[in-house]
Chains A and B, each alone.
Chain A
Amino acid sequence: MALEAPASPQSTRHHAGVNRGDRAWNGLLLGLGLAVLALAAVIIGMLLHASQPLWKAMSPWQFLKSTDWDPANDSFGALPFIYGTLVTSGLALLLAVPVGLGLSIFLTELAPKQLRPFVAFGVELLAGIPSVVYGLWGLFTLAPLLREHVQPFLAKVLGPIPGIGALFRGAPLGLGFLSAGVILAIMILPTICAVTTEVVKTVPLPLREASLALGATRWEMVRLSVLPYSKAGILGAVLLGLGRALGETMAVTMVIGNNPEIHASLFAAGYSLPSVIANEFAEATDASHTAALASLALVLFAITFLMNAGARVLVRRSKHTAGAHG
């Protein structure tokens, strides 16, 4: 069976042209793939190289432990910024996770079908607002609101309680950990809601119907069928939100107060890893100052990488479970 035509000059040229085209295409694709790897290498390489001078003066552990940030005297410590980043992100999660979950349940279970696209649209709009606009709003609307109403109220009601009261003491400035936490909560809300909704939608209908058939109320159906099933995915959504909160720069810089110190009170001014880099990078003259900032960038990169990697693993695992059961 002569399927292959005999090698006439025409067809040989055609084959050669095809191979060349394919080879060029494959080469291009390979190049682009490698470019992504190169990009990551360049980023990590630059940060490592820039932070070199610091390791001559102190060990990484010392750097992470120290609370003293005094560039003029060559003293650098990452702890106040790690503290600020973790506190504001933690507060953001505390506020955004319940609201995000509630919103997601509202969207998938409760809302009348006509209302759903509008609410979902609203959430998408929230996600698209640039960080600097949130910062603008935070400075002129949120900060005065906190300073004049919320903070005095919290100080009066929760301040005197021993233990937890320490979180709510001090002069109400309007700027500080609390404002940054609230703004971050608003910013990560859409992420948490969107991913949770995606995950909750994969809960198989038979599973829900089963609990309803057994006489569960709406809430009990959510509690018994939907939530346990989506546990991993929801945790993934939370971690994704956390990852986003950790890296937020502009809105936080505008309301956190820019004070590199650790204080128990949420009313106090603080500093976060992205904010100090944004404020001080353009002017760091000594190699050691630049190295310290680059090291902070590495710390930030490491933390956000861990969060994002963990999140995607969890979200993927929960989707696979859906596939297996579905």
Chain B
Amino acid sequence: MNAYAGRKVVNLVMMVLCGLAALGALLPLGSVLWLVVSHGVAGLNFTFFTALPKPVGEAGGGVGNAVVGTLQIVALACVIGLPLGVGAGVFLAEKGDSALGNAVRFTAEVLSGVPSIVVGIVAYGLVVVPMKRFSAIAGAVALAILMVPTLARGTEELVRLVPRSIREAALGLGVPEWKTSLRVVLRTALGGVATAALLAIARATGETAPLLFTALNNQYWNVRPDQPTASLTVQIFNYAISPYDDWHQKAWSAALVLLLLVGGLNLTARALTRNRLKGAR
């Protein structure tokens, strides 16, 4: 066999391997999605979304309070984390070329790698212990801490992408600097920032570890932010490690609901990106 044929064989083998790798990557995805949908759909009914969990052994019950709880905690986290994250990003973009700016940027990089369980411990010490109770707000603080670093870095890059000409045009027309940054530059970058925010929110919605000892859990409906609150992710965890088949079924259904929530946010973010890139300016 001449050298070229040998090389062609090697090429074919490697290309096949790469194809197999693609398959190997998509297979678990297919399995997870298929199982969540097929097992989860069976348990979805009106009771599931609207009822409270029942004690073990009693049929029925649902995760209504967990769905509401997740929405509540994530909403609170947005109120804290979005302004902080986006604002820090604008700081880095506008004033970031200084020693302070570099320090802040480096810190944001460091913080973005903090494992979520560590953030949970910090939120426990910061909020739960002084408040003397587990609460939705403690969970929200933990999630906000997770959102801020990635949002800050993302916003910085997006704001820096806005062409200098736009900023200079506004300044040339006499618009004060702060108005330029806020109403002109940020508005131009808004689409990208919204995408980054949606992705951060999607990530926060899927978190479990930081909520374990901040928001704890709750058997009942709860609207007060200063009380323990149920959440979809913690509920899935508790149901999954239990021995009861009924709870396992609920875990799959809750996982389906969670995937739809998180997937919905991710898809919206991508749709926004596509629209933005298509209709540029």
What is A's interface to B at a CB cutoff of 8 Å? Answer: 18, 21-22, 24-26, 28-30, 32-37, 39-40, 42-43, 46-47, 50, 98-103, 105-107, 109-111, 119, 122-126, 128-137, 139-141, 186, 189, 193, 217-220, 222, 243, 246-250, 254, 274, 277-278, 281-282, 293-294, 297, 300-301, 304-305, 307-309, 312
Contact = CB atoms under 8 A, between A and B. Distances in A.
Contact of A254 (B32, B181, B202, B241): B241
Contacts of B112: 308
A40 B107 contact: yes
B84 A25 contact: no
Interface of B: 7-8, 10-11, 14-15, 17-22, 24-26, 28-29, 31-33, 35-36, 84, 87-88, 90-92, 94-95, 100-101, 103-104, 107-122, 124-126, 145, 148-149, 152, 176-179, 181-182, 202, 205-209, 212-213, 233, 236-237, 240-241, 248, 251-252, 255, 258-259, 262-263, 266, 270
A122 B24 CA distance: 12
B93 to A, nearest CB: 10
A33 B15 contact: no
B110 A139 contact: no
A140 to B, nearest CB: 7
A277 B117 contact: yes
A50 B125 contact: yes
Contacts of A35: 84, 88
A137 to B, nearest CB: 5
B115 A25 contact: no
Contact of B208 (A29, A125, A131, A304): A131
Nearest to A137: B32
B212 A282 contact: yes
B117 A274 contact: yes
A219 B95 contact: no
Main secondary structure of the interface of B (DSSP, over half): helix
Nearest to B86: A32
B202 to A, nearest CB: 6
A219 B25 CA distance: 20
B115 A219 contact: no
A281 B263 contact: no
A140 B245 CA distance: 11
B32 A134 contact: yes
Given A110-B19, A131-B209, 20 more contacts: A25-B181, A30-B91, A36-B107, A39-B148, A43-B145, A46-B126, A102-B17, A102-B18, A102-B22, A106-B21, A119-B26, A125-B266, A126-B29, A131-B208, A133-B259, A247-B114, A249-B209, A250-B237, A254-B241, A281-B120
